[in-house]
Amino acid sequence: MGTLLVVGSVALDTVKTPFGAVEEVLGGSATYFSTSASYFADVNLIAVVGEDFPSQHLMFLKSRNIDLAGLERRPGATFRWKGEYSHQLNEARTLDTKLNVFETFRPKIPEAYRAPDVLFLGNIDPELQLDVLNKLPRPPLVACDTMNFWINGKRDALWRVLEKVDILIINDGEARALGEDSNLVKVAQKVLARGPKHLIIKRGEYGVLMFNEKQVFGAPAFPLEDVRDPTGAGDTFAGGFLGHLAATGNRSAEAFKQAIVFGSVMASFTVEAFSLDRLRILDYKEIQERFKAFKRLTHFEDLP
């Protein structure tokens, strides 16, 4: 089993969708990522929480075998996010963000974390992403996420990060903003020319596209009868994707495609319930079954 190091946010979320509402539940990009990846690989988590962070959440993360030596606990309050979704469920409307202890987050890397098989730089300030990269021997595989706030506000620092990573995982709106083009194929050409060997574009309910030098791979999202809360789907996807790559150590085109499907499978579970509630009760057999259902969803016979 490989080891995955993730740097990102742990938060308390207040979320409303047409199917319900929850307050101060476990959330954050690194939380979704770690929990998802924990089904595939050993996960080391670097993040920060405040004094108010409920111990039952720590116990849950420990129950998933996630190493918390890098989870700093600081004076002050935990990062809070409040958002709501309309019936379309495609984009959250942020009602409130309180960075709290996350505002002054400076990732500290425990000695035991210095040689991961895979590093995932969650959506944080590109300067901090660079800082993490400079503090570590180059891991065999490095992936990162970002958001429009950094694409627009710290474009130069972000490109310096991208020159050093293997995989960029973003959504379609972010891809268009980064590549300054509405056509995703052209965006991919621009991004791949400047560093990352793989560009993965998440399209919510419409699925995922992966571009690299050799191929384009496209997967629809798994059609679900009950989608309750899309929060964390993208980070859950990244966790399943990189978790599979960390677990197998295989870097073939085929391994990347299967990893995309594992990521999509994990995301399809997350959206079935609020917070991480579906992942709490998930077992590996269900993951395998949905992978096979995904194969049936997309498979057709080639021409002779």
The partner residues of 46 in beta bridges, in order of sequence, read 7
| Residue 173 engages a copy of itself in binding (rule: CB under 8 A) | no
- List the one residue from 223, 251, 274, 278 that touches a copy of itself (CB under 8 A): 223
Q: Can you give the length of the chain in residues? A: 304
| Residue 203 engages a copy of itself in binding (rule: CB under 8 A) | yes
DSSP string, 80-140: EEEEE--TT-SSPEEEEEE-GGGGG------GGGSS-SEEEE-SS-HHHHHHHHHHS---S
* Cβ-based neighbours of 233, under 8 Å, separated by 6 or more: 204, 267, 270, 271
Q: How far apart are CA 83 and CA 91, in angstroms?
A: 10
| Residue 128 engages a copy of itself in binding (rule: CB under 8 A) | no
| Residue 76 engages a copy of itself in binding (rule: CB under 8 A) | no
Binding mask 1-30 for a copy of itself (x = CB under 8 A): -----------------x------------
Amino acid identity of residue 115, one-letter, is A
- List the one residue from 62, 194, 251, 295 that touches a copy of itself (CB under 8 A): 295
Give the CA diameter of the chain: 65
Size of the site for a copy of itself (CB under 8 A): 43
Smallest separation (angstroms) from a copy of itself to the CB of 250: 11
Smallest separation (angstroms) from a copy of itself to the CB of 35: 22
The C-alpha angle with vertex 45 and arms to 44 and 50, in degrees rounded to 5, equals 150
The Cβ of residue 58 has, within 10 Å, a number of other Cβ atoms equal to 16
| Residue 225 engages a copy of itself in binding (rule: CB under 8 A) | yes
Terminal C-alpha separation, the chain = 39
Name the one range near a copy of itself by CB under 8 A: 72-80, 95-103, 116-124, 200-208: 200-208
Smallest separation (angstroms) from a copy of itself to the CB of 269: 15
> Which of 43/210 has CB closer to a copy of itself?
210
Contact residues for a copy of itself (CB under 8 A)?
A: 18, 87-89, 182-186, 189, 203, 206-207, 209, 211, 215-220, 223-227, 254, 257-258, 260-261, 288, 291-292, 295-303
